[in-house]
Structure formats: structure tokens, C-alpha cells
């Protein structure tokens, strides 16, 4: 019996997969628990429609990310920090501070999008990568001044 998975089920299939399974397993578990539906022309049509909509929304999201990347790449964020002896910075700049500074410039991103390997704790210019979409990475310049 062929079924179309409508939810991910670890070890069995992902959403959108079409698999041939035993009739009892399909009827008593997969369909009953809502993990899959019977493969029919109507369910295939529905699957194709959902995949087309997902593809269009992904394309739109990527275009928005590319436009935002252009805007971010031109930006320089300036942070005024306190320094001690020998221009040693007290503390460091965190991803949350970068996110808040971008929000002041009407750019809304999530903190986990900011890819910061090491803390920013020295004066001068630093480059910080922001992953806006898979394989769309913007780079913002962060400038620490006294």
C-alpha cells in the first residue's frame, strides 16, 4: 500500500515522501496517527500544490534576504566602549547588542542569525557575519571606539 507522509516520522519518512508500506502498518498506525494519507490522485494533487506553494514562499524569502543583505553590507555599526589602561576594552560586544543596534536601523533579525566566533573586545573595525537565509550571508562592520 502506498502512502504519502504528511508529517516527519523518524526512521520512516519525511513530509512529502511517498513510500510503499504494509497495509496493516499503514491503516493501523500511519493513517490513524496522522503521519500519512493513502496515495490517491487527489492526495497527489494536494502534495504537488503544497510543494509548489513552499517553493514560491522559499523563493520570496530568499529574494527578501538578498535585498536585506545589500542593505546590511553597506552598514557600519559604531559602539562606544569604556577602556582601561592600554586601551583594553571592558567587556565585549554581544550578538544581542548587535541585534539591538540593527533594530534601531529598522532591520529585524534573530539573535541566532549572528555568527560570532569570538567576542568583540578590541578597539577598531570587526566584520560580523549574519546568516539571513541558507547560503545568504551578510557582513556588517562593527566599529569599537573609546
Q: What does the alpha-carbon distance between residue 40 and residue 46 come to, in Å, rounded to a whole number?
A: 10
Examine the domain organization and report whether 15 and 75 are in the same domain. no
pLDDT of residue 86: 80
pLDDT in tens, 38-47: 999 999 999 9
What pLDDT score does 35 carry? 94
Tally of structural domains, the chain? 2
Query: Distance between CA atoms of 78 and 145, rounded to whole angstroms?
Result: 7
pLDDT tens-digit map of 93-130: 989 999 999 999 899 999 999 998 888 888 999 999 99
pTM for this structure?
0.72
Domain boundary among 46, 61, 76: 61
For residue 12, what is the domain's CATH number?
3.40.5.10
Q: Are residues 40 and 87 in the same domain?
A: no
Q: Is 144 helix (H, G, I), strand (E, B) or coil?
A: strand
CA-nearest of 35, 28, 36 to 2 is 36
Domain with residue 80: its CATH number is 3.10.430.100
**Is the same domain home to 49 and 105?**
no
- DSSP H helix total and E strand total for the chain: 3, 7
Same domain membership, residue 141 and residue 84: yes
d(C-alpha 82, C-alpha 89), whole Å? 6
Where in the sequence is the domain holding 102, given as residue range(s)? 64-145
Amino acid at each position: 500500500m502506498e502512502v504519502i507522509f504528511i508529517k516527519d516520522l523518524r526512521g520512516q519518512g519525511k513530509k512529502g515522501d511517498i513510500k510503499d508500506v504494509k497495509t496493516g502498518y499503514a491503516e493501523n498506525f500511519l493513517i490513524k496517527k496522522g503521519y500519512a494519507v493513502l496515495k490517491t490522485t487527489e492526495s497527489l494533487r494536494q502534495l504537488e500544490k503544497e510543494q509548489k506553494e513552499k517553493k514560491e514562499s522559499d523563493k520570496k524569502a530568499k529574494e527578501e534576504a538578498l535585498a536585506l543583505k545589500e542593505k546590511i553590507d553597506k552598514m557600519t555599526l559604531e559602539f562606544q566602549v569604556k577602556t582601561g589602561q592600554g586601551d583594553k576594552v571592558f567587556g565585549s560586544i554581544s550578538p544581542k547588542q548587535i541585534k539591538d543596534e540593527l533594530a534601531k536601523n529598522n532591520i529585524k533579525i534573530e539573535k541566532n542569525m549572528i555568527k560570532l566566533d569570538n567576542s568583540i573586545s578590541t578597539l577598531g573595525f570587526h566584520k560580523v557575519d549574519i546568516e539571513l537565509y541558507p547560503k545568504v550571508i551578510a557582513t556588517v562592520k562593527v566599529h569599537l571606539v573609546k
